[in-house]
Chain A
């Protein structure tokens, strides 16, 4: 339960930090690097989301589809 809440704050933190890094990189004139940073942050968060949704589907399978 506390792990799940931690995940949510982690995602918000990653999002904000990635936005900051993006702004700084853009001001330095490195637009391609900014793109990469966003992409990597997105992949990390997507992995976390996929793990959790997989967990949810397993639980729902156990509750509803298993007699």
Chain B
């Protein structure tokens, strides 16, 4: 039933934004961003379920919790930066949207540094040392 509510809300908001756009484009943009926020807030409960399942699976598999936390953070950053970039794109600010996406990518890369280091260390341990040092 939740999906019906969300789709109905989206359609109603679309028509309202259409009316508002010819009178007051700024208000229409704020309306769209608020509808996006509302839909996201409605979805947060479901996302929590998925995340709990992922955490449980990671615990069962005895994964290092640091890696799981990093992956979850990366997913969150991706969602947030996508959300902001789309709102900026809606407002016609494509350049700003690109910058927001760039910021998201760089933050994700920074978060992935420990994992990348761990991979490089593992590979370096696997490779036999040459030169007999």
B47 x A8 contact (CB < 8 A)? no
B35 within 8 A of A: yes
A2-58 residues with Cβ-Cβ distance < 8 A to B are: 4-5, 7-9, 11-12, 14-16, 18-19, 38, 41-42, 45-46, 48-49, 52-53, 55-57
A64 x B34 contact (CB < 8 A)? no
B39-76 residues with Cβ-Cβ distance < 8 A to A are: 40-42, 44, 47-48, 51, 55, 65, 68-69, 72-73, 75-76
A8 x B13 contact (CB < 8 A)? yes
Shortest CB distance A62–B (Å): 8
Shortest CB distance B32–A (Å): 10
A59 x B28 contact (CB < 8 A)? no
B38 x A5 contact (CB < 8 A)? yes
Residues of B within 8 A of A18 (CB): 24, 27
Known: A63-B51, A65-B73. A16 touches B19 (CB 8 A): yes
For the side of the interface on A, what is the size category?
20 to 34
B23 x A15 contact (CB < 8 A)? yes
Query: In whole angstroms, what is the CA distance A16 to B79 when docked?
Result: 32
Q: Kindly identify which residue among B19, B40, B51 contacts A64, using a CB–CB cutoff of 8 Å.
A: B51
- Chain B residue nearest to A64 (CB atoms) is B76
- Chain B residue nearest to A42 (CB atoms) is B26
Q: Kindly identify which residue among B13, B20, B30, B76 contacts A60, using a CB–CB cutoff of 8 Å.
A: B76
Interface of B toward A, CB cutoff 8 Å: 5, 9, 12-13, 16, 19-20, 23-24, 26-28, 30-31, 33-35, 37-38, 40-42, 44, 47-48, 51, 55, 65, 68-69, 72-73, 75-77, 79-80
With contacts A19-B23, A60-B44 known, what are 7 further pairs, Cβ within 8 A?
Answer: A1-B5, A11-B30, A16-B23, A18-B24, A49-B30, A49-B34, A52-B41
